[in-house]
Copies of this chain bind each other. A is one copy, B any other.
């Protein structure tokens, strides 16, 4: 519907070649285990993802081990303003997962994944919305399951850091303000749709919004001033 597609302007000097545009598509995902639903993030989980899954992408997953896939996510938690631009940076959290994707065909697992993903967007939404799905919805909705082979995450917290040379320069330190600008995401005041007939915004949504907003602000503000990483033997220099 109201989606806008923009194309990068082209000029003669651009070497246009064939790329696999399927390779980078934003999708919604959630970690879970259909076989062991009570498993948590300390266990080995699968990643269920939902998005526009084309016939071509589906075909690519039809190999014995599935389609090799990389999934990444990152979020910025603060801007680090140091004495010199070369020590500027971000507080952030980022994760990369490498695995093999297949399309979920078992109806029970597909239903499990849909509920998992929906309730990740807004808690309890699956039960509050019109469910169960119709046969048509089940057929029209594709879910991919990624078996994770390996992955890693990075978290940067704490105030900016400067080199000795600048720290010892009083003139520079009196001139340049140093600190962190916390960055966080806010869920705004819900805006009702024109075709809504329900009396009020669900309580779950109201409470969850308040809680999520408070947690996000607190985390970014704490990360701005304090190193939240556990002690490590070896530390990187930035």
Contacts and interface: CB of A to CB of B under 8 A. Distances in A.
Interface of A: 1-11, 13-17, 19, 21, 23-24, 26, 28, 42-44, 65, 70, 72, 74, 79, 81-86, 88, 90, 92, 94-98, 100, 114-115, 118, 121-122, 125-126, 128-131, 133-134, 137, 140-141, 147-162, 165-167, 169-170, 172-202, 205, 209, 217, 220-221, 224-225, 227-230, 232, 235-238
Given A8-B44, A182-B188, 17 more contacts: A1-B227, A2-B157, A4-B153, A4-B154, A8-B150, A14-B149, A15-B65, A83-B130, A84-B131, A85-B129, A86-B140, A128-B176, A159-B193, A159-B194, A189-B221, A191-B221, A191-B225
Nearest to A13: B44
A92 to B, nearest CB: 6
Contacts of A165: 134
Contact of A162 (B121, B195, B229): B195
A11 B148 CA distance: 10
A180 B193 contact: yes
29 contacts: A1-B158, A2-B156, A2-B158, A2-B228, A4-B156, A4-B228, A4-B232, A5-B153, A7-B152, A17-B149, A24-B96, A79-B122, A83-B130, A84-B129, A85-B125, A85-B126, A86-B133, A86-B140, A88-B118, A130-B166, A159-B191, A159-B193, A160-B193, A178-B192, A178-B198, A179-B193, A181-B205, A183-B187, A189-B221
B184 A185 contact: yes
A81 B122 contact: yes
Contacts of A191: 159, 179-182, 221, 224-225
The oligomer's copy count stands at: 2
B151 A173 contact: no
Contacts of A44: 8-11, 13-14
Contact of A179 (B8, B83, B192): B192
Contacts of A65: 15
A83 B129 CA distance: 6
Contacts of A161: 1
A70 B23 contact: yes
Contacts of A70: 19, 23-24
Contacts of A238: 1, 3
